Amino acid sequence: MSPVATDISARTTARTSAETLSEEDVALLRQDFPALAEIVNGEPLAYLDSGATAQRPRQVLGAERDFLIHSNAAVHRGAHTLAGLATEAYEDARATVADFVGAQADEIVWTSNATDALNLVAYGIANASHGRGGEPARRFALVAGDEIVVTEAEHHANLVPWQELAAVTGATLRYIPVDDNGVWDAAAAASVITSRTRVVAFAHVSNVTGFVAPVAEVVAVAHANGALVVLDACQSAPHRSLNLAELDVDFAAFSGHKMLGPTGIGVLYGRAELLNALPPFRTGGSMITTVTMEGADYLPAPQRFEAGTQPVSQAVALAEAVRYLQRVGLDRIEAREEELAERMLMGLAGIDGIRVVGQPLGSPRAGLVSFDVAGVHAHDVGQFLDAQGIAVRVGHHCAQPLHRRLGLTATTRASAYLYTTTGEVDRFIAAVAGVRPYFGVA
């Protein structure tokens, strides 16, 4: 454990889990993140783009570096000492991440990112629909007349794979509509899910509006109709306590790089009986038991889905990121981010020409805010803020249908994390206030 993390843990043991991070806590945490000390365009970096990619603490960088120096080897393949050490680290990382999300180790599959994880499920179902996987896989098979349900707010990674699955199976893709704020509710979901629904896929937290989905209610309706539930947890796993078994979802996906970990690794959670019945769609070495010139037999999950060279050092680093988040406390991170989101919303509400998407101030929201500046394109907004050292995300955030429904082509998004200060939020608000005057549209 790092000195900084130890200090925070020692000073906060008496706090309840729901308490927030203080400014003092955040100042200590920031010492672990080298990137936050950067100067951008002559100004201290205010990094408000963690919803896209989070910065990494020294502990995570060091864990991957130490593995590569001392234990780097192919896993599950060699009989030598280094291979044994690498395999142990790799599987220990799986167990650590499994515990983090309330799963068993054999319910965690390493993927290259969350997009890959969602595709794994969609293409596995497509293979089952074409007769692959034998009798156990028939539970997944889709035919014409079956329905796949998503929401109008989905990230493309949780939309396009299901469009492809519908196209190759003859199933119908339906969607839960959003309202004028870009959000939806359990009643809207219940009106779309029917006895023909076989898959319901939706984001736990919207990457555009910060809307937190009513998971329990949707799962209940979906399962009552015999449908599988696939949860996109990319914007929830890094920011709030997550127990996938208690949520009772069938599959879930999240990415390492959004939760203080490296790029190149994602996680697929699946209930063990489902993973062992789902046909793989990526095949090759490391996932087989027997291969002849006529065919192959596959290992049980999770190895059956991990063909080829595995992301070993990335898994080790992701496990260290998980341990870091656990030391800080997910409940405290969530509370802190809600405070920062409210501060952003209140500040933006006082600026003429700003339209914030999502639920209004006072409604539950994750720690991100997307907005439109009247008369100024989002890319120009982003460049104006960048000139002042403030990093935000601009564009459609891989959610074109949602933006189209809201009558927008793009928005600017500011997203907070455990290392975001109130001072950075205030800098951001002050800078946004100067956008329209600078471009002459105030």
Q: Sort residue 281 into left (φ over 0), alpha (ψ -120 to 50) or beta.
A: alpha
Do the Cβ atoms of 292 and 35 come closer than 8 Å?
A: no
Omega prior to 302 cis, within 30 of 0:
yes
Annotated catalytic residue: which of 398, 405, 438, 439? 398
DSSP string, 82-131: HHHHHHHHHHHHHHHHHHHTT--GGGEEEESSHHHHHHHHHHHHHHHHTT
Tell me how many helices (H) and strands (E) the chain has: 17, 17
DSSP 360: P
Give the other-Cβ count within 10 Å of 104's Cβ: 14
398 a catalytic residue: yes
Nearest to 86, CA basis, from 64, 69, 71, 97: 71
Going by the DSSP 8-state scheme, the letter that residue 367 receives in this structure is S
Structure tokens at 112: 């290259």
The residues annotated as belonging to the active site are 398
